[in-house]
Amino acid sequence: MPTRTVPLSEVTDRFVAELDQIESAFYKCRGHSTVEGYISYVPTEEGCLFAMWDAWSRFLRTLVVTVSAGPTQSLAGITYTPTSIRTERDVLDYLLANKSGQNYRFVNHEPNWHDERAISDIVTVLSLPNASTIIGSVTTTTVVLGPIVVESPLAEIRTARNFCAHKNWKTFADVGGVGGGTFSTLSDHMRRRRSGVETFSEWKESLEAIAASAAQ
């Protein structure tokens, strides 16, 4: 029986649907209680940020595993066929066996999919047929959002997520160093408007654009 050609739109559509739900939850967090302490923060908003970053990591994982498993059709209509067909388990085992000298590392039996340098090495080690497309998308410095061009949000989101997980004044200052502007809390930063929408929504739209580019 012929192997089914999987449309990569299935992968991107699931990702966009998840981000839509996360953004909706973030909107509903407006006005939620702030924890006043060493550094003030809004736990429900930070939960949305964690969810967004986790969704991005899982999107990249799913994209890699899907392209490794057999023929796929890109959003541009290109058919990609891997030189070596691998199951999900095969992908993880192969990456682990060939991690020496690479920029990815394993934590809890999984590589750090979210890291731009890591995913670049991952798709190269696996010799994915669309490796250059994925690398170009995740390492781009700018993202086109309709009529405007914004900076890639990956470093900013990662830095904000790091602050949420490790709260101190250094990690808080790091967010400002990447995102720019002056703000007193992470909530203020994620709620401030830029590009016509709140920063959190700009991040969300940018991740969707990068995902679509990676699936071309």
Residue 1 lies in a domain: no
Check whether 1 has a pLDDT greater than 70: no
Q: What is the pLDDT of residue 157?
A: 98
Put residue 79 in one of left, alpha, beta given phi > 0 → left and psi -120 to 50 → alpha: beta
Residue 215 lies in a domain: no
Q: What is the CA radius of gyration of the chain?
A: 18
Residue 178 lies in a domain: yes
Count CB-CB contacts under 10 A for residue 123.
24
Residue 124 lies in a domain: yes
Residue 216 lies in a domain: no
- Tell me which residue range forms the domain holding 85: 6-210
- The single residue listed with the structure tokens 């939960």 is 47
Q: What angle do CA 199, 205, 206 make, to 5 degrees?
A: 85
> Is 0.75 topped by the overall pTM?
yes
Distance CA 169, CA 87 (A): 44
Query: Structural domain tally of the chain?
Result: 1
Q: What is the pLDDT of residue 2?
A: 54
Mean pLDDT, rounded, for 160-169:
96
Q: What is the pLDDT of residues 78-137, one digit of tens each?
A: 999 999 999 999 999 999 999 999 999 999 999 999 999 999 999 999 999 999 999 999
Q: What is the pLDDT of residue 154?
A: 97
Mean pLDDT, rounded, for 184-196:
93
